[in-house]
Amino acid sequence: MLKTVSEAIEYRRSVRKYLDIQLDEEKVKNCIKNATLAPNSSNMQLWEFYHVTDIETLKKLSKACFDQNAAKTAINMVVFVARRDKWKERAKYNLDFLEDMFDKQEKKGIDVERRRKVSRRYYKKLMPTIYTDFLGIVGYYKKLLSFFIGLFRPIYREVLFSDVRVITHKSVALAAENFMLSMAEIGYDTCPMEGSDTNRVKKILNLPRKAEITMIIGCGIRADNGVYSERFRVPFERVYKKI
């Protein structure tokens, strides 16, 4: 029986020791497909998912994760990678999709002129404005501009190179949560890890310099002692603010 969303949220724990039982790779792949359905900034989908099943690569990755238990005993690993550098390609995918959709709607007699114009401006002008930078310098120019315009009206302020990195990683993290909950739904366990030597991870996966590792997720089926402690959260009243 599949779990409900709430049941999957309750079931998911960071599991650090896995049983020596193989996972159904197709099922894990389907959970990665669910990851791609996560909400993400401007639908740019600046991500890649490396599903590692090969034993030698798993060993190398474990070493790059400092051989922490969640890596050492993982049966599969999924590396969630932020690909800010792919913005041109992903913007084009979006625009091609939208143009095609508008063409079809136009044939049905729907007036799409305004939406077409807005979409073109969004993916041909706004996205390049956000994602183009040169050694971080353009970002400071954009920041200054947004500061002065922002004195008079609301303006988008996440324009620095570092802001764009955060934007990209946020979306990848949402995909990671989709993945972990999908795994929980079918009784598979996970542990997200940022404790790794990301340079080494990139080298193992043959990733280019500009790719960034958001997190590595160890996967398997929990051993009896795989969850280290009872779930702990700070009191809800400390974090819930009703306005």
Ligand X SMILES: Cc1cc2nc3c(=O)[nH]c(=O)nc-3n(C[C@H](O)[C@H](O)[C@H](O)COP(=O)(O)O)c2cc1C
Task: Tell me which residues touch ligand X (CB under 6 A).
Answer: 13-14, 16, 68, 70, 191-195, 215, 231
**Closest residue to bound ligand X by CB:** 195
CB of 16 to ligand X, least distance (A): 6
CB of 68 to ligand X, least distance (A): 6
Q: Which is nearer to ligand X, 113 or 230 (CB)?
A: 230
Q: Which is nearer to ligand X, 10 or 100 (CB)?
A: 10
Q: Which is nearer to ligand X, 90 or 222 (CB)?
A: 222
The contacts of residue 119 (CB under 8 Å, 6+ apart) are 95, 98, 99, 102
**Is the dihedral angle over the CA atoms 113, 116, 121, 122 positive or is it negative?**
positive
CB of 209 to ligand X, least distance (A): 22
Residue 128, H or E segment: helix 127-131
Contact 195/65 with Cβ under 8 angstroms? yes
CB-side neighbour CA atoms (13 Å) of 20: 1
CB of 66 to ligand X, least distance (A): 8
Contact 220/180 with Cβ under 8 angstroms? no
Q: Which is nearer to ligand X, 12 or 116 (CB)?
A: 12
